[in-house]
């Protein structure tokens, strides 16, 4: 029994506003690209995992595996729906890997999708959540608010500035100009980021990822079976951890509002599997979960690219920009691609695969052989990290 799996096909719809396409259409498009690359028909998939995080604030699709069966037009396949906040995509990949490594299936499909632009008025959702006791909204917390406190704490501890935050957004929007599948491809200046409407101090609108529709899909096999496929990238390591959210810290987590224990735990597990000794030197690129600009800075530290508080310097020194020693978010990240929640974790893997294949035209990291993805969920409590490698 092999210990690793390989990706032999990947698909991703353009991320953006797709009022003209249904949930089912988006899933079908991503699956078509992935299965086409692998040279497989839907019937040849042994089992599938579907990641959609929030059917109830979207189009009420993706509550069960049935919606993927419908897109594929295949009955009789086992399809699990996983949902783990914004890290749902990574968890779909992980559960698919288990079934492959257990020998239960020979070909697995992991699909992530979220259709977020067709939705009821935001006000009515929030109102229902407050009325029905949703614990976050009752406390008045939003996603932006829950990460803004990390920025504030880092201002106090490390002298982080609003300009440091804006620099993340500027870099990632510049990267996105080369990514035809990104939602927001227009470059922005630091002045524009700083001057855009304040969402949750110190995060402005351009420090936040947009609300986006999209789907992503991966076809997976055991490493030993990969040789027969034209495209193949090794999943050298995976880690997944559920730790405390900052709203309910466990005593042993030493939650400090600076970084995320779950990310450090997931990275440690993935690095151990992949034999990564020095994450600051061994990756050619990273796709990290920059739902807000602050999150990319935190990710660079939790993933071991630099020490605590040092990520703004890494950015200023040009290390993490395209052309630098280790580009972070060459795709444009969530800030530019957008964040169709269930799809994001798999979209990151799609990007790193295309980079390793050397076909990321317009944003290619030259000589990319090994990359890392980091996908977080909830208040940083759920984290998935994967290491991908040329094979």
Residues of the shown chain interacting with its own copies in the complex, contacts defined by CB under 8 A: 1, 53, 56, 59-61, 63-66, 68-70, 73-85, 87, 91, 94-95, 97-104, 118-120, 124, 128-129, 131-135, 240-245, 248, 250, 252-253, 261-262, 265, 377-378, 381-382
Whose Cβ is closer to its own copies: residue 52's or residue 364's? 52
Give the separation between CA 140 and CA 132, rounded to whole angstroms: 14
- For the chain, how long is the longest CA-to-CA vector? 57
What single DSSP character describes residue 323?
A: T
Output the smallest distance, CB 223 to its own copies, in A. Answer: 13
Q: Cα dist. 229→72, 166, 205, 226 in Å? A: 21, 42, 43, 6
Q: What is the DSSP string of 312-339?
A: HHHHHTTTTSTTSSS-B-TT-HHHHH--
Output the smallest distance, CB 201 to its own copies, in A. Answer: 26
Give the separation between CA 245 and CA 147, rounded to whole angstroms: 11
Active-site residue, selected from the candidate residues 4, 173, 183, 339: 339
Give the separation between CA 166 and CA 177, rounded to whole angstroms: 17
The C-alpha angle 40, 24, 128, rounded to 5 degrees, equals 140
Catalytic site residue 339? Answer: yes
Whose Cβ is closer to its own copies: residue 68's or residue 199's? 68
Whose Cβ is closer to its own copies: residue 169's or residue 344's? 344
The C-alpha angle 267, 272, 273, rounded to 5 degrees, equals 100
Output the smallest distance, CB 277 to its own copies, in A. Answer: 22
Q: Cα dist. 314→301, 303, 328, 331 in Å? A: 10, 13, 10, 18
Output the smallest distance, CB 254 to its own copies, in A. Answer: 10
* CA-wise closest residue to 270 among 99, 366, 262: 262
Give the separation between CA 155 and CA 222, rounded to whole angstroms: 46
Output the smallest distance, CB 112 to its own copies, in A. Answer: 14
Question: What phi and psi, each to the nearest 5 degrees, are found at residue 153?
Answer: -60, -40
Give the separation between CA 317 and CA 300, rounded to whole angstroms: 14
Whose Cβ is closer to its own copies: residue 65's or residue 279's? 65
Whose Cβ is closer to its own copies: residue 135's or residue 159's? 135
Output the smallest distance, CB 251 to its own copies, in A. Answer: 8
Whose Cβ is closer to its own copies: residue 237's or residue 330's? 237
Active-site residue, selected from the candidate residues 31, 86, 209, 337: 86
367 near 73, Cβ under 8 Å?
no
Whose Cβ is closer to its own copies: residue 134's or residue 186's? 134
Catalytic site residue 208? Answer: no
Q: What is the DSSP string of 228-257?
A: GSSS-EEEEEEEEEE---TTS--GGG---S
* CA-wise closest residue to 351 among 12, 4, 62: 12
Q: Provide the residue count of the chain.
A: 391
Output the smallest distance, CB 379 to its own copies, in A. Answer: 8
Give the catalytic positions in this structure.
Answer: 86, 339
């Amino acid at each position: 029994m092999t210990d690793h799996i390989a990706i032999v096909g990947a698909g991703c719809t353009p991320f953006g506003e797709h009022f003209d396409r249904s949930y089912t259409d988006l899933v079908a498009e991503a699956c078509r690209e992935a299965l086409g690359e692998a040279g497989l028909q839907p019937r040849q998939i042994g089992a599938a995992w579907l990641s959609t995080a929030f059917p109830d604030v979207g189009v009420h699709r993706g509550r069960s595996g049935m919606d993927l069966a419908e897109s594929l037009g295949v009955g009789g396949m086992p399809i699990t729906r996983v949902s783990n906040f914004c890290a749902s995509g990574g968890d779909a990949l992980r559960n698919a890997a288990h079934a492959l490594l257990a020998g239960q299936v020979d070909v697995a499909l992991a699909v992530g999708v979220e259709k977020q632009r067709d939705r009821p008025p935001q006000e009515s959702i929030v109102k229902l959540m407050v009325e029905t006791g949703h614990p976050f909204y009752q406390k008045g917390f939003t996603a932006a608010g829950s990460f803004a406190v990390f920025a504030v704490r880092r201002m106090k501890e490390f002298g982080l500035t609003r300009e440091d935050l804006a620099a993340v957004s500027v870099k990632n929007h510049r990267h996105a100009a080369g990514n035809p599948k990104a939602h927001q491809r227009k470059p922005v200046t630091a002045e524009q980021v700083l001057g855009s409407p304040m969402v949750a101090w110190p995060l402005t609108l351009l420090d936040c990822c947009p609300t986006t529709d999209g789907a992503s899909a991966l076809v997976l096999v055991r490493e030993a079976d990969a040789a027969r496929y034209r495209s193949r990238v090794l999943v050298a390591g995976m880690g997944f951890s559920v730790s405390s959210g900052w709203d309910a810290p466990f005593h042993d987590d030493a939650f400090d509002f600076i970084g995320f224990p779950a990310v450090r735990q997931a990275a440690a597990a993935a690095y151990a599997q992949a034999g990564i000794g020095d994450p600051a030197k061994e990756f050619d690129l990273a796709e990290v979960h920059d739902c807000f600009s602050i999150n990319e800075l935190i990710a660079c530290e939790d993933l071991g690219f630099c020490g605590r508080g040092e990520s703004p310097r890494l950015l200023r020194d040009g290390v993490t920009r395209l052309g630098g020693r280790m580009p972070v978010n060459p795709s444009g990240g969530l800030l530019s691609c957008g964040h169709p929640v269930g799809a994001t974790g798999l979209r990151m893997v799609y990007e790193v695969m295309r980079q390793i294949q050397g076909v990321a035209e317009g944003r290619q990291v030259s000589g990319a052989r090994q990359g890392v993805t980091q996908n977080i969920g909830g208040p940083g409590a759920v984290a998935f990290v994967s290491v991908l490698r040329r094979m």
